[in-house]
Structure 1
Amino acid sequence: MPQAHPVVFLLDVDNTLLDNDQIVVDLKRHLTEAFGSECEKRYWAIFEENRAAVGYADYLSALQRYRIENPHNPHILKLSYFLLEYPFADRLFPGALEVIARFNSWGQSVILSDGDVVFQPRKIERSGLYSAVDERALIYVHKEQQLDDVEMRYPARHYVLVDDKLRLLNAVKKVWGPRVTTVFPRQGHYAHDPKLLTAYPPADVTVERIEDLLLYDLSTLLAAAQAGGGALGSSG
């Protein structure tokens, strides 16, 4: 068992540190230009079927299924190259790396993500996030169900969890209680869905952008866990 740190920062990737919505827009555009609108629609239908079945986004598995349906189209390989060679570093939100550097000066920063075992690690590595957290990354199918494993690998007296999904923040808060400060950056489509915003209580800290966390000091973040959900409101 590693020695417990005073504080460990657990950071989501998609729409928290990285503009995944824009990546999807770029992929849809590429699919339409390369294969046409009908093929683009079919790919996303397969993608959503897969996500419903396995519980996470798997772009490459959807592509493999699409290829099985279209075995004689050699251009599908170009889509694979597009996905694997995408310039993910260009999609980091402003201030993302600076926030990680600030957290690193206070404790340990760890990527905590859901996803597949090929594309998600590739995204984290090529974006520069893997090196920013000194190669500390955990990728699960449902990360909120793996908190015991997170604690075993990165024990801490207190956690700060930053994620764009209130559902996940609420699930972790129910388990860890005042041992975790939940931070909700209102970025991406999940963070602006009215149904989701009303379905769960507010996080301990809400910010409009990840870079807004540069305005907070450590003591304020730690105290927010005790103050109750939404006590610090939004930074603007």
Structure 2
Amino acid sequence: MNGILPVVGITVSSSMHNGNLSSILNLAYSKAIIKAGGLPILLPSVDREAAYKSLALCDGLLLPGGDDIDPFFFGEEPVQSLGKVNPQQDDYEIGVLNEALEQNKPVLGICRGTGILNVALGGTLFQDVGSELKNYIKHHQEAPRSVPTHSIAVVENSLLHDITGRKTNLRVNSFHHQAVKSIPSALRPVAFAPDGVIEAVESVNPKQFILGVQWHPEELNDTPSRATLLEGFIRACHANKKRLQ
């Protein structure tokens, strides 16, 4: 890519650190965006209007992993096995996502970010796949974060299929217990784990780069489920930058 590198806004959560309320984000996200050819800008959850203005400077949006999503946002009561939630962060990220869609920015959701994408557009989640599904595989691995531990089947003729080298099977890492359940009309499922859990969703509009993956490509080594996926996102951000110039 020539010219100024595309800028990617990454939403950041707030948490206590050394006695101070701090903005927290795994460094792997920023490193992965830089390696793929982009420049990261962090969007802390302190002021939604400020985030909207910052987003106007960005060429794409990345929604990272994090805590469970509060089932209030998809009309359910919490199950016993629901993990830690932060409804203020959920509300913030849903708002920033909707603004990104309004501004027609490319969007990539990772793990929790996929759930935010699905819920914001009207879908629901399994709050805990272990207690809500039968015959499920291990979706929260104990292997190192850089190690892929299970396979997924990728739907042909999808954005995910195209940007990962037209591969119909990938190996991915896995650190979740929530997962996509019902899908809104604006999205479609494009990858599945062997137990049927949805591993990726994307826009039904082929002209939009809106993609959510349940795994953590930023943590993997240079495999199609990491390198080409992130590079495809950065290409879409670069195309958006050129469109607006």
TM-score by length of 2: 0.31
| Higher strand proportion | 2
Q: Which has the larger radius of gyration?
A: 1
Higher relative contact order (CA 8 A, sep 6+): 1
TM-score by length of 1: 0.32
| Higher helix proportion | 1
